[in-house]
Structure 1
Amino acid sequence: MKKRTYIAAFFFGAVLAVLLIFMKLPYYVTMPGSAQKLTPLVHVEHGDRDAGAFMLTTVRMGRANVIAYLLAHIRPFYELHPVEEIKQEGESDKEYTMRQLELMEQSKEAAIVVAYRHAGKPVSYEPKGVYVMNVLPDMPAEGRLQAGDRLAALDGRPLTTSEQIIDYIRKKKEGDRVRIAFVREGERREVELRLKPFPHHPNQIGLGVTLMTDYDVRTDPPVDVDSEQIGGPSAGLMFSLEIYNQLVEEDMTKGHNIAGTGTIDIHGQVGPIGGVSQKVVAADRAGAEVFFAPNEHGSPSSNYREAVQTAKKIGTNMKIVPVDTFEDAIRYLRSMPEA
C-alpha cells in the first residue's frame, strides 16, 4: 500500500513540476538584463580607442511559466506583460523576432548617420527597399503577404520607402483595389488586394501590414556594427555615441563608464523605450557612473523620471542624465570632469 502511495506521490509531483515549468501562461516576464561595453561591437576603421566605455543596457524577457509568474509578484524589478502588449495582433514568434532585428538594423543605420554627420565625416544613405515586418489577421494582406517580403511596386509605381505606400493609400477609399508586386525568396510575385478598415481603427483603411524601409548607408572611414544578437531599437543612442567617440580624437568618456538607452532617428532625436527601470538596475550592477535616459521633452511620465525614481530605490550614486537629442548627450559628456 505504501509503495503505491509513494508511486502516486512521485507521479503527482512529476506532473506538477512539468506544469510549473513547461505550461506557458499568456504573459511575458521581464527582468534586469546586462550592461555590455560597446567597444567590441563597434569597429570604425582606424578608430580611436579610449580609457572609458559606453555601454548598452538590456532587459531579459521570456514567456512566463507558473514559477516566473509567481516570482514576478515578489521580486523587485520583475514585471509581467500580457502577450498582446509585447506582440502585435496575430504576430507569430518568427514575425516578432524578425521585427525586433529589423528595428535594431534601422536604429543602427540611423546611429551611423548621426555620428558621422556630427563628426564631420562623409556619410550618405539611400533607401533600398520596403520590407513587411508583420501581417495583421482579418486584413487584406493575411495569407497573401508575409514577414520578410520586399515590396517592389504599388499599382505599377516602384517603391523605395514605406512613406510612399502610406501616402498613396491615404488617398484611397474602402473597397478600392491595389496591385502589389513583391519579392519573396528571390522570386517576384504580384497580388491584388482590396483595402478595408482596421478592426480597432474603423476610420483608417489599409492592407494590414507593418512596414520598414531599409537604407544603404555608406561611410568614410568604413564602420562595422555587430548587432546580430541584439533586438529592438533601444540601443540606438549608445551606438551613435560609441561610433562618434571612435571617429573623433577626444575621449568623450573621459575615462568614465557611461550607460544609457533610447532610440535614435537620422535627425538625432532620442525616443523612449520600455524597461528603463530594469536597465538602470543592470547599469548600476555593471558599475556605470552615468546613465542617459530619454527625457521625452519633460513629460511627467518620461523614461528619465522613471529612471530617477529607480535610482533612488536602489540607492545608486549613478548620475541619471535626461536627453532629448544626440547633442544633449554630447554637451553633457563635454561638461564632465576627467575620471
Structure 2
Amino acid sequence: MKHKLRYPVTLIIVILLLALFFYRLPYYIEKPGMAHELESIVKVQGGYDDKGKLMLTTVQLGKANIYDYLLAKVKKYDEIVSVNQIKDKNQTDEEYNVYQLYLMESSKHNAIQMAYKKANKPYHFIYKGVYVLDVYPKMPAAKVFKPGDRIIRVDNHTFTSSEQFIHYIAEKRAGDKVRVGYIRNNEEKTDEITLASFKDAGGKVGMGIGLVDDRELISKPKVSFQTNSIGGPSAGLMFSLEIYNQLTKQDITKGYSIAGTGTIDPDGKVGRIGGIDKKVVAADKEGAEIFFAPNDDITPEMKKAVPKIKTNYQEALATAKDIGTKMKIVPVKTFDDALSYLEKLPQKNR
C-alpha cells in the first residue's frame, strides 16, 4: 500500500515545485548581466578594425519567482526591487518595454552624432512622424493606438516635427473628430478619433498620448546596430567610442579590453546610470582591463532625497575593491575624457 502511495505523493511534490518556479512574485531581480563586445553589435560601413575590444555592459532584470527571491537574499550582487522601482505605477509592461527600446534608439542617435562630429563626418535627420510612447487610459487614443505606433498624418496633413502636430491638435475643440494615419508593425492603418479634454489640465484638448519625434538618422558612412532586445540608454558612451574607433584609422583600444557604461548626449556629456555595481562585476568576469564610469554631479536635491548617494564612479570603485579586481576604474564626465585617457595609454604588447 505504501508503495502504491509513493508515486502520487511524488507527483504532487513535483507539481508544487513547478508551480513555485512559474509563480511570479510582485518583485524583480536585478543581477550582473553580460559584457558584450561591441564590434559584433555596431558596424560602420567600411570601418577600421581594432586590436583590442570595446564592450557594453548590461544588468539582467527579470520577474522574481520564489527561487530567485531566496537566492537574491544571499547573493551579494543580486538585488530585489519592487515593481514601482522599475516602472511608473500607471505604466503597462508594453509601455515600459516600448520606452526602453526608445531610449536605446535615442542612445544610438546621440552616439552617432557625437562620434561623427568628432571624426568630422556628415549626418542628418529625416522626420518620420510622431512616435507613441504611451497611451492615457480613458482617453480617445486608448481605443486606437498602442505604444510603438507611428502617426504619419492627421486629416491629410503631414508634419515636420511633433511641435507642429501638437499645435494642430491644440487648435481643435473637445468633440472634434480627426482622421489619423499611422503605422503599426510596418502596416499602414487609418482611424477616426474624437478629441476630448484632459482632466486637471485646464481644458486642454487632445487624443491622450505621450509622444516624441520619430526621426531617422542618415550618416555617411552608414552605421548599423544589432542590439536585439537590449533596452535603455546606458550604452551611449561605449557606442560612441566604438563608432569613433571604426571611423578613424588610429585604434584607440591599443590592444586593451575596455568596458564601461554611461548615457551620452549629442554634445558628449556622460550621464548617470543605474546598476553600475552589477556592470562592474559583469565586466570583470569578461576580463576587462579598463572600466569607464560616469563621474556624475550629485545635486543638493539628490543628496536630500538619498543622503548616502554616491557618484557612479564612487560606486564602481567600491565594487571593484570589494570583488578584488585588477580592472582600472576610470572616471569620465564627457566623451573627450574617455578619448583623452585612451590616447595617453601605451600600446599594449601581446
What TM-score does the superposition give when structure 1 sets the normalisation length?
0.86
Once residues 31 and 151 of structure 2 are traced to their aligned partners in structure 1, the CA distance between those partners, rounded to angstroms, is 37
Could you say which residue in structure 1 is the equivalent of 2:235?
235
User: Structure 1 69/166 Cα, relative in aligned 2: closer, same or farther at 3 Å?
Assistant: farther
Which runs of structure 2 are paired with 1:1-339 in the superposition (5 Å)?
A: 1-3=1-3, 5-7=5-7, 9-139=9-139, 141-152=141-152, 158-162=158-162, 181-184=180-183, 185-197=187-199, 208-297=208-297, 300-339=309-348
- Report % sequence identity: 46
Find the aligned partners of 2:179 and 2:244 in 1 and give their Cα distance. Answer: 40
For the residues of structure 1 that align with 2:202 and 2:56, how far apart are their CA atoms? 40
CA gap of 1:193–1:79, structure 2 versus 1, over 3 A, is farther
Following superposition, the deviation at residue 175 of structure 1 comes to: 7.3
8 A Cα contact 2:48 2:246, kept in partner: yes
Contact 1:160/1:213 (8 A) holds in 2: no
Shift of 1:289: 1.3
Distance 1:57 1:134, change over 3 A: same
2 CA distance for matches of 1:85 and 1:163? 31
Q: Tell me how far apart the structure 1 counterparts of residues 4 and 218 of structure 2 sit (CA, whole Å).
A: 72
CA distance in 1, matches of 2:288, 2:281: 10
TM-align CA RMSD:
3.0
Give yes or no for contact 1:90–1:135 (8 Å, CA) kept in 2: no
Greater Cα offset, 37-46 or 56-65: 37-46
Structure 2 SS opposite 1:338: coil
The AA in structure 2 aligned to 1:181 is V
Q: Once the 2 structures are TM-superposed, how far is the Cα of residue 49 of structure 1 from its aligned partner?
A: 1.0
Q: Deviations over 1:244-283 (max 9, x none)?
A: 0011121111211110111222222222222211111000
2 CA distance for matches of 1:63 and 1:21?
A: 11
Instruction: Tell me, in whole angstroms, the C-alpha distance in 1 between the residues paired with 2:161 and 2:58.
Output: 30
The amino acid across from 2:242 in the alignment is E
The Cα offsets for residues 136-177 of structure 1, whole Å up to 9 and x where unpaired, read as 4355543342112223457987444445567888x89x9797
Q: TM-score scaled to structure 2, two decimals?
A: 0.84
For 2:312, give the aligned amino acid: N
Distance in 2 (CA, whole Å) between partners of 1:269 and 1:316 is 27
Rounded Cα–Cα distance in structure 2 between residues aligned with 1:18 and 1:291:
40
Distance in 2 separating the partners of 1:167 and 1:89: 29
Contact between 2:140 and 2:193, CA under 8 Å: does it hold in 1? no
User: Separation in 1 of the partners of 2:269 and 2:175?
Assistant: 37
Return closer, same or farther for 1:167/1:73 CA change in 2, 3 Å cut-off: farther
Which ranges of structure 2 fall in alignment gaps of 5 or more residues?
300-308
Q: How far has the Cα of 1:333 moved from its partner?
A: 1.6
Whether the aligned pair in 2 keeps the contact of 1:128 and 1:214 (CA below 8 Å) is: yes
SS at match of 1:311: helix
Secondary structure of 1:102's aligned partner: helix
- Give me the whole-angstrom Cα distance separating, in 1, the residues matched to 2:315 and 2:177: 45
Q: How big is each residue's C-alpha offset from its partner over 1:280-336, in whole Å with a ceiling of 9 and x where there is no partner? A: 100011111111122223565332222122112111121222222222211222222
d(CA) in 1 for partners of 2:297, 2:39: 30
Alpha carbons 1:21, 1:65 under 8 Å: kept? yes
- Kept in 2: contact 1:34–1:282 (CA 8 A): yes
CA distance, structure 2, for counterparts of residue 238 and residue 329 of structure 1: 10
Q: Closer, same or farther in 2 for the Cα pair 1:144/1:10, shift >3 Å? A: same
